């Protein structure tokens, strides 16, 4: 593993792609199965087992910041598809007291995976845990979740098709 990474290289390490390389704090793989998030190394709690975001932010303020909407969307996606499991990019700030912070150095953590355990999409806050007592998702479970999602999509499409077929038959009866 190289000693120096750019933020873009960190996303690539996990096979994820950010929406914008300048301001994204999270990324998603093309197939949607993997999510990576950037977490500040100095904000972990409980000996690195817990991470809470933006304790000092005002509620709702995150919606106006580039990249932060995506930073809520991607963990929400991980909760729906991957039981909340995300890959971690660790970031060290240039200045710990600065608001907003900028990255001095970052690197992908190859073995640390966190589970999103709390996500408030209205307030823009989240908590993650790497408590290994909680069962992690296996590849088989990930594939089953993907197939459930695909099956639900096909069922929805079939219902829409039936609706339009019925609508057409009603139109033809009126003529």
In this predicted model, what pLDDT tens digit does every residue of 104-133 receive, in sequence order? Answer: 999 999 998 988 877 766 555 555 556 544
Mean pLDDT over 59-63 rounds to 59
Q: What is the model's pLDDT at position 94?
A: 95
Considering Cα of 136, then 52, then 103, then 63, what sign does the dihedral take?
Answer: positive
**Residue 27 — pLDDT band, cuts 50, 70, 90?**
very high
Q: Note if the pTM is more than 0.85.
A: no
Alpha-carbon distances, residue 113 vs 21, 34, 82, 90 (angstroms): 22, 11, 12, 11
Return mean pLDDT, the chain.
Answer: 79
- Does the pLDDT at position 168 exceed 90? no
- Does the pLDDT at position 64 exceed 70? no
**Residue 79 — pLDDT band, cuts 50, 70, 90?**
confident
Query: What is the per-residue pLDDT across 80-99, written as a single tens digit (0 to 9) for each?
Result: 888 888 999 999 999 998 87
CA distance 26 to 111: 17
**Residue 60 — pLDDT band, cuts 50, 70, 90?**
low
CA distance 122 to 117: 16
Interacting residues of 55 by C-beta distance below 8 A, sequence separation 6+: none
Q: What is the model's pLDDT at position 132?
A: 40
Quote the DSSP letter at residue 99.
S
More confident residue, 58 or 36: 36
More confident residue, 36 or 62: 36
Helix (H) or strand (E) holding 37: strand 35-40
Q: What is the model's pLDDT at position 66?
A: 72
- Does the pLDDT at position 136 exceed 90? no
């Amino acid at each position: 593993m190289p000693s120096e990474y750019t933020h873009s290289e960190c996303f690539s390490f996990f096979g994820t792609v950010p929406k914008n390389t300048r301001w994204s704090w999270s990324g998603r793989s093309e197939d949607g199965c993997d999510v990576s998030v950037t977490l500040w190394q100095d904000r972990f709690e409980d000996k690195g087992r817990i991470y809470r975001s933006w304790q000092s932010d005002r509620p709702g303020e995150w919606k106006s910041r580039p990249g932060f909407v995506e930073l809520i969307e991607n963990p929400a996606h991980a909760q729906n598809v991957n039981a909340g499991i995300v890959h971690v990019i660790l970031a060290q700030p240039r200045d710990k007291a600065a608001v907003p912070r900028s990255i001095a150095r970052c690197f992908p953590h190859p073995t640390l995976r966190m589970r999103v355990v709390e996500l408030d999409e209205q307030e823009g806050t989240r908590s993650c845990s790497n408590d290994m007592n909680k069962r992690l998702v296996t590849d088989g479970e990930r594939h089953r979740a993907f197939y459930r999602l695909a099956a639900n999509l096909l069922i929805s499409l079939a219902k829409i098709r039936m609706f339009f077929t019925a609508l057409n038959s009603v139109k033809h009866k009126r003529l």
